[in-house]
Amino acid sequence: MAALALKCVGKWGAVARGVDVVGWRSWRRGAVGQTGVLEVGNKQKKTTERGRRVDNVMPRTRLSARVPLPPTLASLGSGSSGLGVGDTRKIHTATARTLFRLRPLPILLATGGGYAGYRQYEKYRERELEKLGLEIPPKLAGHWEVALYKSVPTRLLSRAWGRLNQVELPHWLRRPVYSLYIWTFGVNMKEAAVEDLHHYRNLSEFFRRKLKPQARPVSGVHSVISPSDGKILNFGQVKNCEVEQVKGVTYSLESFLGPRTFMEDLPFPPASSRDSFRNQLVTREGNELYHCVIYLAPGDYHCFHSPTDWTVSHRRHFPGSLMSVNPGMARWIKELFCHNERVVLTGDWKHGFFSLTAVGATNVGSIRIYFDRDLHTNSPRYSKGSYNDFSFVTHANKEGVPMRKGEHLGEFNLGSTIVLIFEAPKDFNFRLKAGQKIRFGEALGSL
């Protein structure tokens, strides 16, 4: 009985395989009837309407199988156009290739058109709200959107961009490349110390070009000047330990500056741990804490200077992401500046606490502080949430690094963001408007 069962199983397996083989080979050879079905029975031979004979490899079986064919092939085979087997095969191949090529196109067009239309609608809506004098409500990204954005290897891309910037360009290629950049981002080369484009050997030198001394006169009257060229994103008093990166979108002051251990290097009396973080930074009665955010576009002057006379006592480097910091992203991602890599310089000026923070961005992994040779940004590896502290207060220099107003402080490899957080009396007044363009040396505010 066991032998008989095995024999039956083997026979039925051969039958099934035979049906599949015959059906597939006959389909590929064009053996198609009007019904679009290939029949395999117990006959020795079977002839289709086109006269092509199909050999039956299982003459002793009584199994009849139907192998369904695609409607397109069935209609081609049943037509009376007189096409041969080779012509049918060519039509089938060409049709399949055409459909494969055309299917993604409508999807891409519909997706791209829909997104472009949505963006145009959003811009139109913002313009109408601005005309009416109404505030544009921010649309913040969700946690999964931020996580998805942070998964993009922006640090790796920024390092690759940095290496590309160091490649020396041929002499004949410099003018076309730099001219395209100047035209795209509206760079004013008349302000550059060296206007000859052939002088800059690579893109990095062009980005970090120096200005003519008379191009940026430093205001001597006002207390605080702009440390760089850029656009004012936001400014005002720090309230409830929150700082506004743009109107309506805030970030935590403590998350941005980190733990208050840097205050050990400041010449202030120690604050109580029970006080709020803001109150720990305000060292004098009657003073308030102020902030100002300046965005540097790719076409702006990339160096930054000291905004006032002050002393730098501590540096804190936060490795992090390198997401874009343009105004649109600042309105979309909450605590954007806390996610990104940044270098925080803290110290004091005549009215108390003062800090300047250089925030990195996509393709701006390189942040350089001229007097800090130990600073290395955009390292390949770092621990999430970590930071590196360095004190400029030593036995030889107990005060720190003194900086004069307008003195060169550092540079970016491309546009980014400068954040000022400082203590000042209550009668300090900003001379700014949100969204206005500003240049290095112009007044931010005064007493």
Look-up: residue for tokens 């961005």?
Answer: 361
Cα separation values, 430 from 225, 240, 292, 305, Å: 10, 20, 9, 19
Helices and strands (H and E) in the chain: how many: 12, 21
Tell me 390's DSSP state.
Answer: E
Amino acid at 378: N
Selected catalytic residue, list 228, 321, 355, 416: 416
Q: How many CB atoms lie within 10 A of CB 265?
A: 20
Cβ(430)–Cβ(292) under 8 Å? Answer: yes
Of 378, 383, 382, the residue nearest 366 (C-alpha)? 378
Residues 72, 77, 81: CA angle, nearest 5 degrees: 110
φ, ψ of residue 229 in degrees (nearest 5): -75, 155
Beta-bridge mates of residue 422: 290, 354
Q: How far is CA 23 from CA 26, 35, 69, 70, 284, in A?
A: 5, 14, 10, 13, 92
| Distance, CA of 278 to CA of 83 (rounded, Å) | 85
Give CA angle at 424 (422, 427), nearest 5°.
Answer: 140
Burial 391-402 (b: 16+ CB within 10 A, else e): ebbeeeeeebbe
Residue 223 a catalytic site member: no
Phi then psi for 292, rounded to 5 degrees? -150, 130
Active site residue 87: no
Contact 175, 197 (CB under 8 A): yes
Beta-sheet strand order (sheet of 224-225) = 224-225, 443-446, 429-430
Closest CA to 244 of 294, 295, 291: 291
> Is 171 an annotated catalytic residue?
no
Strand partners for 224: 445
CA distance 168 to 170: 7
| Among 204, 223, 226, 229, the one annotated catalytic | 229
Exactly one of 291, 305, 314, 339 is catalytic; which is it? 305
DSSP element (H, E) containing 250: strand 249-252
Catalytic residue set: 229, 305, 416
